[in-house]
Amino acid sequence: MDSLRLDDQLCFGLYAASRAVTSLYRVVLEDLDLTYPQYLVMLALWEEDHRQVKELGAELSLDSGTLSPLLKRLEGAGLVRRTRQTDDERSVRISLTPEGVALKEKAQGVPSVIGAAMALDEAELTRMRKSLDRLTASVNAYRDSIS
Amino acid sequence: MDSLRLDDQLCFGLYAASRAVTSLYRVVLEDLDLTYPQYLVMLALWEEDHRQVKELGAELSLDSGTLSPLLKRLEGAGLVRRTRQTDDERSVRISLTPEGVALKEKAQGVPSVIGAAMALDEAELTRMRKSLDRLTASVNAYRDSIS
DNA sequence: CACAATTTGATTGTGTACAACTGAATTTGG
DNA sequence: CCAAATTCAGTTGTACACAATCAAATTGTG
């Protein structure tokens, strides 16, 4: 299993599955004019509004190089507002606009469509999620240990 | 399980795991001066040399918009050659240079490092790969059916 | 043969990802 | 109290992804 031929069965599977899911979201989110990463940010804000860029980055494992332009696009679309915090001028607070809050209604149908497309039963879904979480943790720990 | 809160547990897990694995490859492939997608192309060519762009695209599910610039970078690095086919001037044949062939030796150690980092036993690895493959197939089929 | 449809790769434009760096603001150690 | 270190967001540069479009070459059909 250490050959260059079989090596990537899992890694490539992961890479392919991730792109497939993203491309499904592309179609499903077309109505909302959101990309998948933008949708993730909106999910985080619907969950808890008024977050620092840093907090969003920690939750989604994305850095400012990705989030800054993404948040500007969401601001351009009128979904969020970016305001400097008064007590700490370094940090920027991201808040939903009324339009951003309202978009949550339109997003209600998304999960069930995605769920239907995945066609996995509850047990397999749970098992997979756990495996993925452990995989991410292992891989990140290993990467940090060697670099 | 259809709430916006829980929706993305699996999808986000997939997204996060895929990025984590790619970031591990970034470190591991540093020595070879390859990105992960470039490594995938090299794997495909080590497996079978002299392939059309179209064939590589089919194997990796990547289109020419991704592959054309990527292959030019590999050509710039001296790893592959791009030649127009004489019998069909539309198609471009990608061939490994001696340097490209030689790089395979340096890549021998990659799979075991990745395998160690993932820390999954054989059974879980197999189960996960199968789940991912089925997931990809379901999701792609569903996407095609609605768009 | 003519010519419309298809195939193939390239190009353009948008949007992530992420490393590396910058600059301003804040915190901390002495 | 103040210089050094740290934090935070933003910017720059490189490299995917992928939709849309294009041009050239080939193929199928009448």
Asked whether the beta carbons of residue A139 and residue B110 sit closer than 8 angstroms, the reply is no
**CB of A75 within 8 A of CB of B40?**
no
| Single-letter residue type at B22 | T
In angstroms, the CA A49 to CA A95 distance is 6
Q: What is the mean pLDDT of residues A112-125?
A: 92
Q: Which positions in chain A touch B146 (Cβ < 8 Å)?
A: 27
Q: How confident is the model at residue A3 (pLDDT cuts 50, 70, 90)?
A: confident
A89 touches strand D (CB under 7 A): no
pLDDT value for B58 = 96
Segment 24-83 of chain A within 8 Å of chain B by CB: 24-25, 27, 36, 40, 43, 46-47, 61
Alpha helices in B53-121 (DSSP H): 53-60, 64-76, 98-107, 110-118
pLDDT tens digit string along B54-82? 999 999 999 999 999 999 999 999 999 99
**Strand C proximal to B64 Cβ, under 7 A:** yes
User: pTM score, two decimals?
Assistant: 0.94
pLDDT at B34: 98
pLDDT band at A147 (very low <50, low <70, confident <90, very high): confident
A38 touches strand C (CB under 7 A): yes
The answer, yes or no, to whether residue B1 has pLDDT greater than 60, is no
Residue-by-residue DSSP string for A36-54: HHHHHHHHHHHHS-SEEHH
In angstroms, the CA of B129 and the C1' of C9 are apart by 32
Closest CA to B91 of B70, B75, B68: B68
Q: How far is CA A18 from CA A8, B32, B132, in A?
A: 15, 25, 9
Q: What are phi and psi of A103, to 5 degrees?
A: -60, -20
Q: How far apart are CA B91 and CA A145, in angstroms?
A: 44
Contact residues, chain B, for A136 at CB < 8 Å: 13, 16-17, 20
Rounded (5°) CA angle B15-B16-B21? 100
Nearest alpha carbon to residue A135 among A3, A56, A17:
A17
pLDDT for A16 beyond 60: yes
Nucleotide with the nearest C1' to A58 CA:
D8
A18 touches strand D (CB under 7 A): no
Region A71-100: mean pLDDT is 96
Contact B10 A132 (CB under 8 A): yes
pLDDT for the residue numbered A85: 87
pLDDT at B147 over 60: yes
